[in-house]
Amino acid sequence: MQLIECVPNFSEGNDPNIIKQITNEIESVEGVRLLNVDPGKATNRTVVTMVGQPGPVIEAAFKAIKKAGELIDMSKHKGEHPRMGATDVCPLIPIANISMEETANYAQQLAKRVGEELSIPVYLYEAAQPNAARNNLSVIRAGEYEGFFKKIKQPEWAPDFGPAEFDAKRGGTVIGARDFLVAYNINLNTTSTRRANAIAFDVREAGRNIEVDGKKVNQPGTLKSVKAIGWYIEEYGVAQISMNLTNINITPVHIAFDEVCTKATARGIRVTGSELVGLIPLKAMTDAGKYFLQKQKRSTGVSEKELIKIAIKSMGLDELGPFKPEERIIEYMLANAADHKLVSMTLIDFANETARESPAPGGGSISAYVGALGVSLATMVANLSSHKKGWDERWKEFSDWAEKGEKYKSTLLQLVDADTAAFNKIMEAFGLPKATDAEKATCAEAIQAATKYAIEIPFKVMETAYASMEVIKAMVIEGNPNSVTDAGVGALCARAAVMGAFMNVRINATGYKDKTFTEDVIARGNDIQNKTLALEAEILELVNEKIGV
């Protein structure tokens, strides 16, 4: 499935009734999911995030742009953020199984429709704009709403679509395609816009113009792929550095935050926190958590939830209001609760769910969970060892082991629900209609496909649980000796996970007709099981030697 994200910015941030009418248009389109609505009072601007397949997203964006033009009067608009129209900018971002070129084509389709059907002047930007001289948003928007009545008459600034007349009520719109952008504001303990701008110029890639030997020369800022300005936000009573991070692989959020801290301190100003506008990828948050832990020489092999918590607190993302990861991280917004139903349960509920008169969750899911517990014990030993008094010089070594353990744990936890889903697929296949020969053939094919999946999932449990024993063994040998029995129990769990999952592989293989496939899987499964038993015996011998009793 192709997925694109659309992040229209509407020039209204104070009237919830107007904002709701616009977002209602988006929600009226089937196949589009409204992920986030982020109004700003001082900027008088709302950033909306939606995602879906290209066709429905284009329809939803068109309807929202139309509604915004009906409800927002730009002749009366005031706000801190640069703007030129009721729908100021509307970017499309490729998310899954779609190229930037394809996304740009969709942006051009949307722009053409808005220009022709709504008679709004539209400018293309970034990947959707073939003319490199006018693909930069800030260059297009220069002069803002007030200056566009004259600007639009200049031949070089004729719109790409729509009339070359600036609409006093609706203004103009910029539509394009770009990479994922993070809109990020950093809070300062000053009310001075001039000083905030000085810091923004210090860090933004475009930098500032300075005079050298009577000539103006550009002095670049310190951060690549960063746009920034300073402004005062009356709503909060502080100045901010407002940033667009256009490539977080080049300049991640945490690097931008730290660099602004450095430049602010040099100017006698302190950063007090920061603010995310819209959504952010999960990796950006976990990378930030790891970065700040590493600065403290602490283990980074902690849970995803803990990494996010560290990132929030380190960058003060909750200073101006609550930061709820489930509402701000794009992967969490797109997640299907059914995909992690079991691992989201309490221990008691999970045990009760297993015990009731239902065949799932069964041995496969339990094997995966036992494996997750086993490597979790080893990860615990690694983290304890990383923080052990007197072992400070080895913190990175144990942190690396803990990170490995976390990866194995995460995979095994995903497989808990995946195994039950695999069983349910088989049941669904058996429930397909069989009234005609064609239906019987379709049913048989579905059963075979589901059976193969039900073999592959527990086999993945075997592979992962066995691989996790490298962490377990290392922690028995190198880890905190006071926790050696914890690692030993981890080995017992890993062995149980491998053997339990192999039982599922074998019984499901009896129902699969491709004997070449099943014979290969069984042979590889036997090899993993034998290696697991041998490694378990080796680990337990090491544990018993260390116990010494």
pLDDT for res 462: 97
507-547 pLDDT, tens digit each: 999 999 999 999 999 999 999 999 999 999 999 999 999 99
265-278 pLDDT, tens digit each: 999 999 999 999 88
Dihedral sign, CA of 287, 418, 330, 136?
positive
312-368 pLDDT, tens digit each: 999 999 999 999 999 898 888 877 777 889 999 999 999 999 999 888 899 999 999
SS (H, E, C) 518-541: HHHHHHHHHHHHHHHHHHHHHHHH
**Cα diameter, the chain:** 91
CA 7 and chain centroid, separation: 15
What is the distance in angstroms between the CA of the first residue and the CA of the last residue of the chain? 59
Question: What's 337-547's CATH class?
Answer: mainly alpha
**Residue of 547, 536, 533, 528 whose CA lies nearest to 489:** 536
375-419 pLDDT, tens digit each: 999 999 999 999 998 998 999 999 999 999 999 999 999 999 999
| Domain-wise residue ranges, the chain | 3-177, 182-334, 337-547
What is d(CA 453, CA 448) in angstroms, rounded to the nearest whole number?
9
**Helix, strand, coil shares of the chain as percentages rounded to 5?**
55, 15, 25
pLDDT for res 181: 86
Query: Under a CB-based contact definition with an 8 Å cutoff, are residues 491 and 536 in contact?
Result: yes
Query: Averaged over 67-84, what is the pLDDT?
Result: 93
Helix (H) or strand (E) holding 288: helix 282-295
pLDDT band at 129 (very low <50, low <70, confident <90, very high): very high
**Residue of 218, 227, 263 whose CA lies nearest to 246:** 227
Question: What's 3-177's CATH class?
Answer: alpha beta
pLDDT band at 442 (very low <50, low <70, confident <90, very high): very high
Inter-CA distances, 337 with 333, 342, 366, 409, Å: 10, 10, 19, 19
pLDDT for res 1: 75
Amino acid type, 405: G
| CATH number 3.30.70.670 given to 182-334 | yes
pLDDT for res 281: 86
Q: Which comes out higher in pLDDT, residue 334 or 119?
A: 119
pLDDT for res 180: 85
What is d(CA 156, CA 153) in angstroms, rounded to the nearest whole number?
9
Catalytic residue annotation: 81, 419
What is d(CA 160, CA 130) in angstroms, rounded to the nearest whole number?
10
- What pTM, to 2 d.p., does this model score? 0.81
Query: Averaged over 249-274, what is the pLDDT?
Result: 97
